Structure 1
């Protein structure tokens, strides 16, 4: 009887080397939500969905860099972005504070030196603690975690591939893509891939990078070059066109001016053409000047590429599921609700077209998406007036429109720009240079002069801009800002005292209290 049952049993045909899914056998999906990508946006979405009692899983897998660098759960921000960057930036600021301290009466023994290995170990250990913390949080919220690289089999099925090439199929009613992005390597430059690193490697170096060339004009380039210089390293930045494209260009120029004044070397309008490894272990980089075509060369211990980032979408097999991308950028096209071209497939964070590549927006978008899917919410993510800060040696924080954007949208005659150069009180005793400490408020000239954008260069820019961002989000006007009492003595109070317009042509330098 048993032998007869075996011959008559139903047969389910599976794709070769894959196990049959629960959906194939029962017609139901295993999970209510499956998140592909364990970065800030994906984790936020998964944990929020689990709060509603849903069955949730997260797939996350980090492909090692060409240099073999790899890390744990948490995505770019935790492992190779915001967190290690801010800590190393702070390490560099402490070096500046040591110099200032002597003017305030502190006795500092000389020579003052920095130990990269000690800093790196401390930063990397903290990052590893965050990796572990994320795993514990997922477990506590009953979110299933898979260390697998995901790709589509069909619109409801994800193939997960382990490091050992073991395959697992997972099915879900809803799928969220949050795989983030990775740094680009330049094409057609001999030696670029073989000998260069990216920010994905820099934060995990055990030993000092030594004399370093950073190629690129992005905030990643300037932030990394800034803290490398601050740590006492010989650092050069190579820029092909303009710094901080997409940001207010007056502010960008002030940021780079300050860096140059504080010993970061800049090679402007230059393009690298070749990288070679010398017998002494150093890298010989050849470049050309754009204007003249003149060729020059120098040797460096480390070459870091910071020429942009690209979304991690190539291996997702999106075409199989019918998910559309922008072919020019590789990013996934989404609507206001983060939905892709396939109704039950969503995307958040750096892989989405037209969204800011910022951790807080990815987290907020992920949470709101989960609430709409499972909590009967209708609230959409608002991407207007998102504040951000670039952690260069002199920090640059901003919210809203740049002066160029406001002028393009409203016309130059319809905006008013209030501005001021100021000197932080803390800079006075050590007589630190403060020529680039600058504030700009861009307003509409109509009615009460609504604030369209606020730009601040100076110490603790992120802490300053965060509070003002709320006011601008709520439609604050210039007249309301004037009526707000400042906190004295602070750098932030200079915003409340802005009264000189660019249109007036008057000197905007603050001369006293």
Structure 2
């Protein structure tokens, strides 16, 4: 057999590794010019996925990860935003709120529950933090098992192949790598133009690590982060207000967004619409007095809170990486790294994945997928459909295009929207209002009516949407959805029964089973 060229030999060896063959690392290390085949800066979801996949393919890999304390001094361990101050603690606290609602429902189902029922923040917080710390440890063990070198150091670039690491004591070291992946993620923004914002406010980086209850809370911002936090704070019995400058859930389908906020208002969350914060002051009582302006009436308003939580967006962690100096191009407006379809930056051996990559969804699953694909030297990440879920009291799951985006791309006359209002069975005996439980399937208006987007508000929306995301990935049609047999009695089956179009003007309320 003719000898394989080095490029094809590498692919052949990687293919063998994928089937479990153990190939010595020297087959990948070339002439040993660099300390590592790959160095990843950032130990979040994308960085960890990339490093573990690369190591499994036989490459010599190191990960640098260091958490700068938040403005309020909060720090955490390995795993990035999702594990420490995002998806995981958020979902657990969301579950705490759902259990509170379940306790109320239980009375209607015959359970005798002594009054009063109350929630203890410290117990919940300790349990959540203990779980997060176990995940931190688990990630360190996984890196060790895969022989990935973990350096608890802040990384920056000296040149395209040299990385400087600095530990908490200021001690420095440098390593070299054939390829470098930047996966440092982002951190919450503060409105520095608002007096008192930095001094007295907190962010989501701090909320999940508070030892004591935040008490009466103002959440400034109506992104999914703001609404999720406000939702579980209300759910555990705290007086919570959301301050909204213009619209909620920008970038999501706005009809679905309104259903979510309407439900939250009925659920007990207060909303201050068309409001812009002006200043935050600390009163002698220790309360925080917030002054804001109504953008419509131009009037000023004030109220006092125990906690002010800023949820006004996130900024990429790129400022201290020395990227510009080594030739990595950044988007001047966002500060994010400009990447090609294969995650490559303007420097051929430097890649960026996750929240710091311009034009990529700021979502954990896409960062993980991008990291794995990059480690396998594959492209096409940008073509993936990305399902997502907002863990508000009434969950909102979606995949594909919003109604607005479908109409923008295809023209309103070429889009057909099927929809239905339904009542979850578990809401009936509990006598819960189901007015915001809604399904929308956005389709092409002609031919086989290929499904372009699917939107669902209701219990366990994420679990429902995940399954239908596969259908959308495979290009399923409305006819195929209609011909699918539903599992009875479930909320998900309502999608298989959907038959009323918006265009028809008929009542879309589901009656009967």
Q: Which residue of 1 aligns with 2:239?
A: 234
Q: Which residue of 1 aligns with 2:395?
A: 395
Q: Which residue of 1 aligns with 2:468?
A: 468
Q: Is the 8 A contact 2:443 2:450 kept in 1?
A: yes
1:289 matched to 2:286: no
- Counterpart secondary structure, 1:407: helix
Q: Which residue of 2 aligns with 1:439?
A: 439
- Give structure 2 stretches of 5+ with no counterpart: 1-30
Counterparts of residues 58-457 of structure 1 (less than 5 Å) = 58-372=63-377, 378-457=378-457
Give the CA deviation at 1:381: 1.9
- Counterpart secondary structure, 1:34: strand
Q: Which residue of 2 aligns with 1:18?
A: none
- Counterpart secondary structure, 1:316: coil
1:500 matched to 2:505: no
1:55 matched to 2:41: no
Give the CA deviation at 1:379: 4.8
Q: Is the 8 A contact 1:355 1:383 kept in 2?
A: no
- Give the count of matched residue pairs: 483
Aligned-partner Cα distance in 2 for 1:121–1:283: 26
Superposed CA deviations along residues 334-387 of structure 1, whole A, max 9, x for unmatched, are: 111110000000011000000001111110110111111xxxxx4532444210
Aligned-partner Cα distance in 2 for 1:381–1:356: 11
- Give structure 1 stretches of 5+ with no counterpart: 1-25, 373-377
Q: Is the 8 A contact 1:31 1:55 kept in 2?
A: yes
- Counterpart secondary structure, 1:315: coil
Q: TM-score if structure 1 supplies the norm length?
A: 0.93
Q: Is the 8 A contact 1:384 1:400 kept in 2?
A: no
Q: Which residue of 2 aligns with 1:34?
A: 39
Superposed CA RMSD in Å reads: 0.9
- Counterpart secondary structure, 1:364: helix
- The ranges of structure 1 where at least 4 consecutive aligned residues each deviate by more than 6 angstroms after the TM superposition are none
Q: Is the 8 A contact 1:361 1:383 kept in 2?
A: no
- Counterpart secondary structure, 2:168: coil
Superposed CA deviations along residues 406-447 of structure 1, whole A, max 9, x for unmatched, are: 000011110000000000000000110110000000000120
Superposed CA deviations along residues 474-499 of structure 1, whole A, max 9, x for unmatched, are: 00000011110001000000100110
Q: Is the 8 A contact 2:50 2:374 kept in 1?
A: yes
Q: Is the 8 A contact 2:345 2:352 kept in 1?
A: yes
Moved more, 51-60 or 393-402: 51-60
